[in-house]
Amino acid sequence: MLLSAENDSDTDKYKGNRPVSSSNAKIRHLQLPLPPELISEIFVHLNYSYDNISSEGTRLVSQVCSLWREIVLAEPGCWSSLTMSLSQEDAAEEASVLSTWIARSGTRPLSLSLMCHNDMETHPILPVILSAAHRWYDVDFFFPAPFFAQLSAVRGQLKLLHRLEVGESNASRHNIDTPIVDFAASAPSLSILELRLSPDRISVPWSRISDLSVSWIHTSELSSVLQKLPNLAILNVQSAYPLPLRHCFYSRNSPFVLQNLHTLYIATDAVADWLHGLQLPALRHLLIEAKGRTDLISDLLTELIAQSRFTLDTFEITSKQVRDETLIQ
């Protein structure tokens, strides 16, 4: 369970919903092999040793001993990253925990991963995160549509937002009347975007995006969104739904160029649908995990290489259907 103010044995250090000072004077008589400030930095980095946003490091080290807990309570950086799965039954407790966590983070930029798989209209956690929106740096929100409607209130306040991962619950995803997710429409620092919803369902500063990951979208949507990304450098395509080639956006007569794309990773059943006519002159790293339509991959790779004239530093492919002679060519 995440730490809360009510469960702290050191509640005298946490008053008025204010973070504890990180001053060494607050940590007295510690018989430790390293200076407290160095141990604090180690504890902060524990949360970033995982692949995604995590609060696991803070939770674990705070339970080791009272001395480590005192250091954790005194370091705002230990509280600037949080992962939480939301529920209707524990909504009040979750809001209380998050409020405590954010308060302890001081003025640090926030990394938040919040997930709600229930079709709820609202949650008491929303006002808490909205109040700290100016500190969002790396956020992963998987919410029902009504949550995103409330997040629109912070549009224009997200000056620090650097990375955004966003997805909708199943019920929201198939509702044609669902409003556009627009809370990050004018985020000036946003450059990394991971989508688990249709690109047509979100408004972001597309021209600033340099790193895009997409999953569970139609290949026609992927083809369309690539037009909006002149500065795209990294593209990761997961679980795209295939289209018949006759409906493909690209054609052999109408090539489309992504001038700055240097890394392309594909793990999808729909490798064939959107690679036709794509030119990638700056491509250096190509990684393909081909799950379907593998009979077309050889010809498409040959076409892609021929029309782009790139030189690869890294080439990995997982497919039993690609001919060895094609790879040699």
Look at the chain and count its residues. 329
Find where tokens 């306040």 sit: 157
**Residues 39 and 176 occupy one common structural domain:** no
**Residues 41 and 150 occupy one common structural domain:** no
Residue 165 has pLDDT above 80, yes or no: yes
**Residues 49 and 101 occupy one common structural domain:** no
Residues 181, 187, 188, CA angle at the centre, nearest 5°? 155
Q: Give the containing element (helix H, strand E) for 67.
A: helix 66-74
> What's the rounded mean pLDDT across residues 9-24?
37
**Residues 24 and 125 occupy one common structural domain:** no
**Residues 72 and 175 occupy one common structural domain:** no
> What's the rounded mean pLDDT across residues 125-137?
96
Percent of the chain with pLDDT over 90: 35
**Residues 111 and 75 occupy one common structural domain:** no
**Residues 144 and 188 occupy one common structural domain:** yes
Residue 151 has pLDDT above 90, yes or no: yes
Instruction: Give per-residue pLDDT as tens, 72-81.
Output: 776 788 788 8
Task: Give the lowest-confidence range in 7-16, 52-61, 144-153.
Answer: 7-16
> How many distinct structural domains can be found in the chain?
2
Domain boundary among 64, 79, 94: 79
- Count CA within 13 A, CB hemisphere, residue 118: 11
**Residues 13 and 56 occupy one common structural domain:** yes
DSSP 8-state secondary structure symbol assigned to residue 321 = S
CATH number at residue 105: 3.80.10
Residue 109 has pLDDT above 90, yes or no: yes
**Residues 2 and 54 occupy one common structural domain:** yes
On whether the CB atoms of residues 19 and 49 are closer than 8 A, the answer is no
| Residue among 129, 139, 65 at smallest CA distance from 98 | 129
Residue 307 has pLDDT above 90, yes or no: no
Residue 303 has pLDDT above 90, yes or no: no
Q: Note the pLDDT of residue 131.
A: 95
pLDDT grade, residue 311 (50/70/90)? confident
pTM of the predicted model as reported, rounded to 2 decimal places: 0.78
Residue 281 has pLDDT above 80, yes or no: yes
Task: Give the lowest-confidence range in 2-11, 83-92, 217-226.
Answer: 2-11
288/170: higher pLDDT: 288
Domain boundary among 47, 79, 111: 79
User: Which domain covers residue 53, as residue numbers?
Assistant: 1-79
> What's the rounded mean pLDDT across residues 75-100?
87
Q: Note the pLDDT of residue 45.
A: 67
Domain boundary among 57, 79, 101: 79
On whether the CB atoms of residues 27 and 70 are closer than 8 A, the answer is yes
**Residues 29 and 152 occupy one common structural domain:** no
64/164: higher pLDDT: 164
> What's the rounded mean pLDDT across residues 308-313?
83
**Residues 36 and 140 occupy one common structural domain:** no
Question: Can you spell out the DSSP letters for 115-147?
Answer: E--S--S--THHHHHHHTGGGEEEEEEEE-HHH
Backbone φ/ψ region at 264: left (φ over 0), alpha (ψ -120 to 50), beta = beta
**Residues 209 and 121 occupy one common structural domain:** yes
Q: What are phi and psi of 303, to 5 degrees?
A: -65, -45
